[in-house]
Chains A and B, each alone.
Chain A
Amino acid sequence: MEAVRRLRAGLKGWGGVGAMAVVCALTVVFALVLPLSGTRGGGPAGTGGQGVAHGEQTRADDCRAKGDPQNHSLRPSSSESGPTIKKIKDNGFLTIGVDQNSYRWGYRDPNNTAGKAELEGFDIDIAHRIAEEILGDPAKVRFRAIPTNQRIKAIQDGQVDMVVRTMTISCERMADVAFSQPYFTTGQQVLAPKSSPVKGYDKTLAGKKICSASGSTAWETLEADQKSGKLVASADITSVNPPNQLDCLVRLQLGEVDAVVTDGALAASQAAQDPTVKLVGAPFTTEYYGVAMNLEADDLVRRVNQVLEDYLKDGWQQSYDDWLSATLGDDSTGSLPPSDQKYRD
Chain B
Amino acid sequence: MTHTPKGSAPPPAPPASPGAIPSVPPQVTPASGFPRSSAGPDGEPPRRTAFAEGLDQVRAAATTEPGRLRIIGAVLALLIVAFGSVTAWQMNDRATAADDVLTSSQPLSSAAAGVYSSLADANTAASSGFLAGGQETPESRVRYEREIGEAADGLATAAAASEPGSESEKRVAELNALLPKYKGLIERARANNRLGYPLGGAYLRYANSIMQDQMLPKAQKIYDNENRRLRDDYSDATSYPWAAIALGAVALGGLVWAQRRNYLHTNRVLNHGLVAATVASTVVLLWLVAGHTLARSGLNDSYDHGVRSLTVLNDARIASLKARGNENLTLISRGAETEEIKKGVVVDKFDHRFGLEMKALASQLATAGKLADDDKGAEPVKAALAGMEVWQDRHRSARTADEEGKYQCALDQVIGGRATPDCRAGDKPTGECFDQVDANLNTALGHETREFEQAARGGLDAMTGLPVGAAVLAVLAAAGAVLGIGRRLSEYR
B89 CB within 8 Å of chain A = no
A108 CB within 8 Å of chain B = yes
Question: In the complex, are the beta carbons of A107 and B198 less than 8 A apart?
Answer: yes
Q: Which of B133, B336, B346, B411 contacts A145 (CB 8 A)?
A: B336
Question: In the complex, are the beta carbons of A109 and B196 less than 8 A apart?
Answer: yes
B194 CB within 8 Å of chain A = yes
Q: Compute how far the CA of A102 lies from the CA of B198 in the bound complex, rounded to whole angstroms.
A: 7
Give every chain A residue within 8 A of B196 (Cβ-Cβ): 109-111
Q: Compute how far the CA of A107 lies from the CA of B193 in the bound complex, rounded to whole angstroms.
A: 12
Q: Compute how far the CA of A107 lies from the CA of B135 in the bound complex, rounded to whole angstroms.
A: 17
Give every chain A residue within 8 A of B195 (Cβ-Cβ): 273
Question: In the complex, are the beta carbons of B408 and A246 less than 8 A apart?
Answer: no
Q: Compute how far the CA of A107 lies from the CA of B202 in the bound complex, rounded to whole angstroms.
A: 11
Which of A115, A140, A270 lies at the interface centre, i.e. has the most chain B CB atoms within 10 A of its CB? Answer: A115
Q: CB-defined interface of B321-356 with A at 8 Å, one 1/0 digit per residue?
A: 000000000000111111000001010000000000
Give every chain A residue within 8 A of B405 (Cβ-Cβ): 93, 139-143
Q: Compute how far the CA of A125 lies from the CA of B111 in the bound complex, rounded to whole angstroms.
A: 51
Interface, chain B (partner A; CB < 8 A): 130-131, 133-135, 188, 192-203, 205-206, 333-338, 344, 346, 403-405, 407-408, 411, 417
How many chain A residues touch B (CB < 8 A): the figure is: 38
Chain A positions 62-103 with a Cβ under 8 Å from a chain B Cβ: 93, 100-103
Give every chain B residue within 8 A of A274 (Cβ-Cβ): 199
Q: Which of B135, B188, B201, B404 contacts A101 (CB 8 A)?
A: B201
Question: In the complex, are the beta carbons of A42 and B198 less than 8 A apart?
Answer: no
Q: CB-defined interface of A271-291 with B at 8 Å, one 1/0 digit per residue?
A: 001100000000000000000
Q: Compute how far the CA of A140 lies from the CA of B405 in the bound complex, rounded to whole angstroms.
A: 8
Give every chain B residue within 8 A of A117 (Cβ-Cβ): 131, 133, 407-408, 411
Between A and B, 24 residue pairs with Cβ closer than 8 Å are A100-B201, A101-B198, A102-B198, A103-B199, A107-B198, A108-B201, A109-B196, A110-B130, A110-B133, A110-B134, A110-B196, A110-B201, A111-B133, A117-B131, A117-B133, A143-B407, A144-B335, A145-B335, A145-B336, A159-B338, A247-B202, A247-B205, A250-B199, A250-B203
Q: Compute how far the CA of A291 lies from the CA of B418 in the bound complex, rounded to whole angstroms.
A: 36
Question: In the complex, are the beta carbons of A118 and B407 less than 8 A apart?
Answer: yes
Q: Compute how far the CA of A143 lies from the CA of B135 in the bound complex, rounded to whole angstroms.
A: 24
Q: Compute how far the CA of A157 lies from the CA of B346 in the bound complex, rounded to whole angstroms.
A: 9
Q: CB-defined interface of A130-161 with B at 8 Å, one 1/0 digit per residue?
A: 00000000011111111100100000010100
Q: Compute how far the CA of A140 lies from the CA of B404 in the bound complex, rounded to whole angstroms.
A: 10
Question: In the complex, are the beta carbons of A249 and B408 less than 8 A apart?
Answer: no
Q: Which residue of B lies closest to A146 (CB)?
A: B336
- 9 closest A-B pairs by beta carbon, nearest first, are A145-B334, A142-B405, A110-B134, A111-B134, A107-B198, A145-B336, A144-B335, A273-B197, A246-B202
Give every chain B residue within 8 A of A216 (Cβ-Cβ): none
Q: A116-B408, A118-B408, A250-B203 are in contact. Are A144 and B334 (CB under 8 A)?
A: yes
Question: In the complex, are the beta carbons of A145 and B333 less than 8 A apart?
Answer: yes
Give every chain A residue within 8 A of B344 (Cβ-Cβ): 42
Q: A272 to chain B: closest CB distance in Å?
A: 8
Question: In the complex, are the beta carbons of B202 and A244 less than 8 A apart?
Answer: yes
Q: A22 to chain B: closest CB distance in Å?
A: 31
Q: B301 to chain A: closest CB distance in Å?
A: 52
Give every chain B residue within 8 A of A247 (Cβ-Cβ): 202, 205-206
Question: In the complex, are the beta carbons of B336 and A115 less than 8 A apart?
Answer: no
Give every chain A residue within 8 A of B188 (Cβ-Cβ): 253
Give every chain A residue within 8 A of B199 (Cβ-Cβ): 103, 246, 249-250, 270, 273-274
Q: Which residue of B lies closest to A139 (CB)?
A: B405
Q: A111-B135, A117-B408 are in contact. Are A100 and B334 (CB under 8 A)?
A: yes
Q: B474 to chain A: closest CB distance in Å?
A: 68
Give every chain A residue within 8 A of B411 (Cβ-Cβ): 117
Q: CB-defined interface of A120-136 with B at 8 Å, one 1/0 digit per residue?
A: 00000000000000000
Give every chain A residue within 8 A of B205 (Cβ-Cβ): 247
Q: Compute how far the CA of A101 lies from the CA of B206 in the bound complex, rounded to whole angstroms.
A: 13
Give every chain B residue within 8 A of A108 (Cβ-Cβ): 198, 201
Q: B35 to chain A: closest CB distance in Å?
A: 93
